A and B are shown apart, each in its own frame.
Chain A
Amino acid sequence: MAEMKVDLCGIELDNPVIAASGTFGYGYEFAQLYDINILGTFSFKGTTKDARFGNPTPRIAECPAGMLNAVGLQNPGVDRVISEELPRLAECFDKKVMANVSGFCVDDYVYTCARLDECEQVGWLEVNVSCPNVHGGGMSFGTSAKSAAEVAAAVKAVASKPVIVKLSPNVTDIVSIARACEDAGADGISLINTLLGMRIDLAKRRPVLANKTGGFSGGAIFPVAVRMVYQVANAVKIPVVGMGGVSTAEDVVEMMLAGASAVEVGAANLVDPFACKQIIEDLPGVMKKYNINSLKEIIGGCR
């Protein structure tokens, strides 16, 4: 019997598959398609203190083996997430959900995290210091070890739930940023957010995206993600959640061998709404093929 259970910051997951923030809404679009309780968990849409419409459209662009998005953290704001989205989620999801939080100043992060920390349904706070599509916030916190650690420490001071800091790959040395977050008290690290990219419309001679640049995700970024997960997992003692281009059960195993304790699946959900379900169904077969009895045993197993 293939043992798929893993531990993430003291909470047991039935399997390591976590649908990634921004690709899974607040869950119920997918709950209409399959029982989302089969997931390890999911990280809900990036939530901010105040409601945000996000960036102008077009926000999406096709890329080789991937896509750009510049949604810009559209969300109803933390008050409505708590009063409307979480009650609706409770009807279709029994497990602890990961609350993804973004902000434009340290106080924003603290406020939003403190509010969501009080919610029974929330198991973890995933603190996004890496959104490439907003200005004056998001990624600017995640591009220096000092400011990332500042956010991590401030959130930790108000949170009772595990705090996982989601890092940007758009940096020169992700390891030093991960270490600074660990030193600041973070309970886990998740990586990678999207890679900053751009496409140009040849006929219009203008960027395809209204925001000009966007975050690159999809299968194409998988090798970059594996490399960064490997580097960070070898440098910190706290759990690492690996993500970036994961599309198959084999990709999940590869991420775990690189050092991930759990694995987020992002853009794949948008192309195939059943992607996470398929991955979870395929995992036992892949484990058997590679003689894996328990997924816990392979974390960081790449020699």
Chain B
Amino acid sequence: MKQGIFTITGNTPLTKTVCKMTLEGDTSAITAAGQFVNIKIDGLYLRRPISVCDLNGSTLTLVYKVVGKGTETMSRMKAGDTLDILTGLGNGYDLSVCGEAPLLVGGGVGVPPLYLLAKRLIAKGKEVKVILGFNSAEEVFFEDEFKALGVDVTVTTVDGSRGVKGFVTDAFKGGFGYVYTCGPEAMLKAVYDKCGCGGQFSFEERMGCGFGACMGCSCRTLYGNKRICKDGPVLVKEEIIWQK
């Protein structure tokens, strides 16, 4: 983990509620796809955890959904503004165990961390397939970015206004031996029930510190109590206990 000051270089809306922010700073603490950063925002007490979407040298890309005061403030920030950010938080995805044909499944604002993951898996020569789930066509983002990586992309929408009608699991066609997923807990559970293979699941929880000190985001697993911020956010399928 490192604390650093980042300078915003871009901040543009992708949909009505989802924005993409690019920043420049010391990204050296970020070691894995699926990690997150924790952002200090003027006027708010606790930092706001946001997953890492992409990383290119000192350029950090965050894709976030405006859901409250913190992300609302972020959405109004401009190029040249600075943010105090803790980087390199969480375990991230383990790329070493996925076989040759992993499936990446993202739901809504769970899509962004899969982008860096896809890039890194491709770099390792994996044959990556991606399913991106949204409620409707107007909420779809990053379809073109994933396609530009040359991977097989399927979009699903609940209302059928784009791609396959239904949930991400309605687009399961086999041909994958491992899943990496991030999204709402109900989606994670559906993927868990229907994937028929091993996988890694990224969870979300309200956090205090984001680096393992406060025990605010604890969960039970078959491998013992874990802190989503420090021992997660990625849990392996075999350890997950569904509680909610």
Chain A residues near B (Cβ < 8 Å): 22-25, 29-30, 32-33, 45, 53-54, 56-67, 69, 71, 74, 218-219, 267, 269-274
* Interface contact B215-A273, CB-CB below 8 Å: no
A271: B residues at CB distance < 8 A: 40, 45-47, 209
Instruction: Decide: A270 near B46, CB < 8 A? Known: A30-B213, A69-B214, A74-B215.
Output: yes
Instruction: Decide: A269 near B206, CB < 8 A? Known: A53-B225, A65-B45.
Output: no
Contact stretch, chosen from B102-110, B119-127, B216-224: B216-224
Contact of B216 among A45, A60, A64 (CB under 8 A): A60
- Which 6 A-B pairs rank lowest in CB-CB distance, beginning with the nearest? A270-B209, A60-B216, A58-B206, A60-B208, A74-B215, A29-B212
**Is B44 close to A, CB under 8 A?**
yes
Q: What are 10 A-B interface contacts by the 8 Å CB criterion? A: A29-B213, A53-B218, A57-B205, A59-B206, A60-B214, A60-B216, A65-B45, A74-B225, A270-B213, A271-B47
B44: A residues at CB distance < 8 A: 62
Report the Cα distance A71→B214, complex, angstroms.
8
**Is B230 close to A, CB under 8 A?**
yes
* Interface contact A62-B45, CB-CB below 8 Å: yes
**Is B86 close to A, CB under 8 A?**
yes
A23: B residues at CB distance < 8 A: 209, 213-214
CB-based A-B contact count at 8 angstroms: 90
Q: What number of B residues sit within 8 Å (CB to CB) of A?
A: 27
Report the Cα distance A29→B227, complex, angstroms.
12
Q: Report B136 CB to chain A, min CB distance, Å.
A: 20
**Is B207 close to A, CB under 8 A?**
yes
A270: B residues at CB distance < 8 A: 46, 208-209, 213-214
**Is B134 close to A, CB under 8 A?**
no
* Interface contact B215-A33, CB-CB below 8 Å: no
Contact of A61 among B69, B206, B209, B243 (CB under 8 A): B206
Report the Cα distance A127→B128, complex, angstroms.
55
